[in-house]
A and B are shown apart, each in its own frame.
Chain A
Amino acid sequence: MKQKEKEIRILMLGLDNAGKTTILKKFNGEDINTISPTLGFNIKTLEHRGFKLNMWDVGGQKSLRSYWRNYFECTDGLIWVVDSADKRRLKDCKAELHILLQEERLSGATLLVFANKRDLPGACNIEELRDILDLDEIKSHHWHIIWCSAVTGENLLQGIDWLISDIATRIFTLD
């Protein structure tokens, strides 16, 4: 008998311009040169390491953030994407992240922080971000931060792999 496919639902959020849609498309092997700001949401279903990943990417502009809550349900993994070169908005970024983590419906989700745009000069490093975003305060979720570049594709796989293995050990161990 064919084993039931293991499905994982991943929600990708972050401030506007962080690179969410670019990450999604790059990961899916699509062209990343014609991406405009997301006004609604994107979904991609990818097969990876025997899992079926349902990835949801919702627009991050301030006026759109109130819609995020409509996509919390059943989320196994939350990817928080940060523009590590946008130092001006890191405070805002930290505030939005910590509000999200209080959400009841996200309480069972593993958190991956993508420190994106590492290829840009002046991008913060992981230690700085960990500090500015107060990541060590997070006790409610399994979390991990990794730098990446959606443009070059560096570290995208490593990040996703960490996320999947954390989720898999949490929810599929009974199989």
Chain B
Amino acid sequence: MNTKTNHDRTCRAPKSVKGYSIKTSPDKTQIGGQVTVTINDHAIKVPLGTTILEASKSLGINIPTLCNHDDLCVAGVCRICVVEVEGQRNLQAACAFPVTSPIKVRTHSRRVRHARRHILDLMLAKHYGECYSCTRNGNCELQNLAEEYGVDFYRFGHLKEPRYTVDNSSYAVVRDMDKCILCRRCIRTCIDMQEVGVLGAINRGDKTKIATFLDKPLAEVICINCGQCINRCPTAALKAKDPTDEVWAAIDDPTKHVVIQTAPSPRAAIAECFGVEPGTALTFEMNTALKRCGFNKVFDTNFTADLTIIEEGTELILRLYKALVKKDPGVAETIPQFTSCSPGWVKFIEHFYPEFLPHVSSAKSPQQMFGALIKTYYAQQNNLDPANIVSVALMPCSAKKFECNRPEMISSGYKDVDYGLTTRELAKMIKEAGVDLLKMEKSDFDDPFGSATGSGVIFGATGGVMESALRCVIELVTGKKVENLFDHAEITPVRGFEGSRIAELTIGDVGPVPDLLKHLVPDWNWLRGVTLKLGVCHGTANAKKVLEDIRNGGPFSQCQFIEFMACPGGCLGGGGQPIPTTPEIRAARARAIYAEDRRSTIRKSHENPAILSLYKEFLTDGPCGKVSHKLLHTHYVARGKYILA
């Protein structure tokens, strides 16, 4: 499976040059031809065009890298990967040297070792800060290299004073340019992978720095808070805004009732922070660990993921009903409906495609729905004063930190979610609490939201929202079990990692309208024989393509419903997930998530008993009713992309 989200490695080449570049498949064997490369006297045959770095890797030879990243195009700027190529006067960057003829390479000759050490020493000469007071201590590529190359003194000195002020303006991303080594991974992430274009290198020579447009604070530019740049940064120059001190303070305060909701993706990844292979889910161990850290209750965000499916699905049905049966042209224009659960994506569309905002579902994201319910429904049920509830959300995402601070997210009368924690930050808290996550016994989530369905879990992977929605729609409309149509209710056509895809589903016979929706539509006859087209896309670069396609009346404009996620791979590849995140690691996390879905017994959101009782007791006027509109739906801001000087 190819998990790269952006195959076109020449995407930033000018059109004039693109004409000459050959569209290569990421699979190098397709280019044709094999060539022998001899690395440190070991000969190996590789497909033409393989880089020295890749060839060495297959021989088990490690070449250090800093600017190279599996998700990004080649840059060749840091030079730490230099090797000696016989017949070449200068050392060559292994990451940027495609093998096209039989060559002999030395990867650790004296000359190479010296050059690398010098490059490191030069980087450290401009590096301010100490490893012990650094968030990336123990997980820093620069620190690792300094160790590997035995740096025990600063040959060219070390900064005593900071050169820059830390940019703390954003709710999500903190930029500390004193730790930046100018590898430009963040630029390539933001421009090529996400197509947001916040970061660039400004000035020249020793004054070069990574900055935003006009060197403005991050909060004042078009950053969508996706945190993908954080996940690519080899050092602590980019990091998430860390609220752990505030969370600890709340836990320590006996008057506060501290609850945490945990999203599906962190549980599939947190083990990585404890040195375990990617793809190991520790859901129930993590529950125990959270209790040991001092959280009063641990809830599963899957519960509101199920709720999102019901609310968003109902909204879709209403839109379709109004457009197809009532022939309301105003509503017809707002189809396809777009998902709204990814706050990075929401900010992306607010900035770059505000004219498409009417398409976005008004349903809040699961995190915010949960926040609103905790301070209303849960508080009432347990006789708690919502003012004393501190609601924390464990998310794989940095944009969630921004989302919970959006001024409109106070529908409970309080800040719906007080703090957003990333997977990395929680791992740190667990370590600080001295809890050995891997040895924890298993425990379940707390009531009243305890049970969640598998459908909720797969929200974490791209296509997950779509698959859950389909499971519901199929059953609600046809009255038949999904299992009869798809093996294990696994709707595989919407799974996978291609950047964007469309699945089709023709509704055959329809059944009776279920009780939950009776007050909204009289019957399903209008859906009989209708073919639903459903789009899925992940990474905002792909989102841009899909929106342009809709604008041009392409295949995506024929869809009824499109799932968008800001991060490549969906939430499991979120900006708050453990570092590193690579295509292989994303694939492993996806396997863990789908495995968890397989294990859960109730697999459909509308069968979740806790959801049903919520509608019976609290949201009494049903999905998309008055109460749910107040608590569970929101509105958006057309921000636009122009920045005034």
Is the pairing of A and B real? no
B residues within 8 Å of A by Cβ?
none
A residues within 8 Å of B by Cβ?
none
